[in-house]
Amino acid sequence: MSSDKVVVITDAEFDSSVLQSEKPVILDFWAEWCQPCKVLAPTVEEIAGEYENIIKVGKLNVDDNPTTATKYGIRGIPTLLFFKGGKVIQQVTGVKSKAEIKKIIDENLV
């Protein structure tokens, strides 16, 4: 379900992989049982491929990594958090189109 361009993020490596990343980061909060997450996954992978040298794209399974999900108040999934300089600059919940996600990236991250 994940491509080689999408990084799997865990609670243990969240700080080093996301907050201390030199590149902006999009983090997809998801779960195996979540059907909308499965719908969004190919879009996230496409974005990762298109922006691979510009941003880091990661996925965090909320069932396996509840600490980070709780810290950021993730109540519904899928949720995408957009980080720049270690800070959340945008959050979207639910299935969004590739165009909607690219607009957020282009306006806020690049």
Q: Which residues are catalytic?
A: 34, 37
State the Cα–Cα distance between residues 76 and 21, nearest whole angstrom: 25
Query: What is the DSSP track for 30-95?
Result: E-TT-HHHHHHHHHHHHHHHHTTTT-EEEEEETTT-HHHHHHTT--SSSEEEEEETTEEEEEEES-
